[in-house]
Amino acid sequence: MKVTLVTLLVSLIVAVSHANAAEAAMQLGNHPFEKVQIDYPSGEGCSFQYSPIQFCDERHVDEIKRAIAAMAPNFNHHYILLIMLERKKYYEHSVVAIDSKTGIAYPLPFDSYSGDVDAKGNIHGYGHILYDLNSNRVCISGAIVAYRQIDSGKLCWSFDGAKFVGRHTPYME
């Protein structure tokens, strides 16, 4: 009986929080979360092929919903660029662009970004990401990981409305 009551209470809390997030999103003029869309050949539903990041798992979807509820567009006129912590120990973040008009989230074509990597493969700090409300361009200074490949420097992409183009990663093949 306790398990059933606890389960019912947790379900009620989750339902109320999702309703509150949807209501807050509507107040900002943002469309509620719809889905994650990956328009690259190596995309498989909510993840890139061989990627450890599942953008449709509960944690990522909850972060996307919270961003829609709390944030105004900050990228490419009507998108919310959301930076999500992946592995704190390695200073890694993933990034999605959320269309505030449709609720669709578009991941950048890499697993994560961090600070620069030294000759021994050690990461030292967080990378820097640059983007603007009036531009479709995103640049990362640091290192990215995409399917066991590490690339570093100043790496840039432009968003074409369905995917990011620019600096090539294995996920774009």
Task: Output the pLDDT for position 41.
Answer: 87
Do residues 118 and 152 touch, judged by C-beta distance below 8 A? no
What would the pLDDT profile of 128-170 be if each residue is shown by its tens digit?
Answer: 999 999 999 999 999 999 998 999 999 999 999 999 999 999 9
Between 26 and 6, the more confident residue is 26
Q: Which of 155, 162, 148 is nearest to 130 (CA)?
A: 155
pTM of the model: 0.83
Does position 14 have pLDDT exceeding 90, yes or no? no
- Asked whether residue 90 carries a pLDDT value surpassing 80, the answer given is yes
- Average pLDDT on 59-65 reads 98
Q: Rounded distance, CA 144 to CA 115, Å? A: 9
